[in-house]
Amino acid sequence: MNWIWFHKLASPPHAYGIAGRLAPWFGWPAGMLILAGLYGGLVLAPADYQQGDAFRIVYVHAPSAWLSMLVYATMAVAAAVGLVWRIKLAHAVAAAAAPIGATFTALALATGAIWGKPMWGTWWVWDARLTSELILLFLYAGVIALRASIDDRDRADRASAVLAIVGVVNLPIIHYSVYWWNTLHQPATLTKLGKPSMAGDMLWPLLAMLLGFTLYFGAVLLVRLRAEILRRERDAAWLRAELA
């Protein structure tokens, strides 16, 4: 089998070009799906009989929470690829992904708190999902802080890769221990609100938002990857030729 295309992909000039060409193919569908999902979720879908209009925040909250974990997994896989095969581009992907993931996690936390105000009467409840999102945010903060504190780029790449992999091994343990902790200390009624079975006209906007957010992540990752390549290759000859 011919692997040349794969090796080409790992070279910064090719990746720079391909990322630039691919980004719109993610960005435009993402924009359309999110618009459709928002219209479907905020206008077309009926109000929930239990939660009223407050349930509508799930159309932003659930996709953010899903992406907060998907981005961490993406980052860890990219970090592992970079560490094992010493592909610098994979480290660039991991570096580009971390702040996106942290932002989605913060968004999931904020929307969770906003949803909690009408539901629970307070902005913050030590609910299992909110708490594990908070710990996830700490994990992102650790990876970003470690990368920022090391001046040597190669060392920064590989050290934060090790941390990302350690984090991804720990993530399920953290997740399940927080759930266990929560069921012990909280009355079970709160968690019952979590997973209502959804009617079709409530469900399709959510699926559209999930797909739209995922594609949006792809688009932002590609754009950030280009920026990261620019930063890393700023002295390279190909870049001077490309920009000339």
Partner 1 sequence: MTAPTGALAAAVLAFRRDLLLAMRHWGQVAQPLVFFVMVTTLFPLALGPELGQLREIAAGTLWVAALLASLLGLELLFRTDHADGSLEQLLLSGQPLAVLALAKGLAHWTVCGLPLVLLAPLVAVSLGVPIEANGAILLSLGLGTGILSALGAIGSALTLGLRRGSLLLGLLVLPLAMPALIFGARAIDLAIHGDSACGPLLLLSAMLVLCVTLAPPAVAAALRISSE
* Residues found near partner 1 in the complex (CB under 8 A): 83, 135, 138-139, 141-142, 145-146, 149-150, 154-155, 158-159, 162-163, 165-167, 169-170, 173-174, 177-178, 180-181, 184
What is the nearest approach in angstroms of partner 1 to the Cβ of residue 106? 15
Is the CB of 128 or the CB of 225 nearer to partner 1? 128
Is the CB of 11 or the CB of 149 nearer to partner 1? 149
What is the nearest approach in angstroms of partner 1 to the Cβ of residue 129? 15
What is the nearest approach in angstroms of partner 1 to the Cβ of residue 220? 24
Q: What string of DSSP letters covers the chain?
A: ---HHHHHHTSHHHHHHHHHHHHHHHHHHHHHHHHHHHHIIIIISPPBTTTBGGGGGHHHHHHHHHHHHHHHHHHHHHHHHHHHH--HHHHHHHHHHHHHHHHHHHHHHHHHHHHHHHHHSSS----HHHHHHHHHHHHHHHHHHHHHH--SHHHHHHHHHHHHHHHHHHHHHHHHHHHHHHHHHS-THHHHTS-PPPPHHHHHHHHHHHHHHHHHHHHHHHHHHHHHHHHHTTT-HHHHHHH-
Is the CB of 87 or the CB of 174 nearer to partner 1? 174
What is the nearest approach in angstroms of partner 1 to the Cβ of residue 91? 12
Is the CB of 178 or the CB of 221 nearer to partner 1? 178
What is the nearest approach in angstroms of partner 1 to the Cβ of residue 160? 8
69-87: string of b/e by CB count within 10 Å (b at 16+)?
Answer: bbbbebbbbbbbbbbeeeb
What is the nearest approach in angstroms of partner 1 to the Cβ of residue 152? 8
Is the CB of 9 or the CB of 162 nearer to partner 1? 162
Is the CB of 126 or the CB of 238 nearer to partner 1? 126
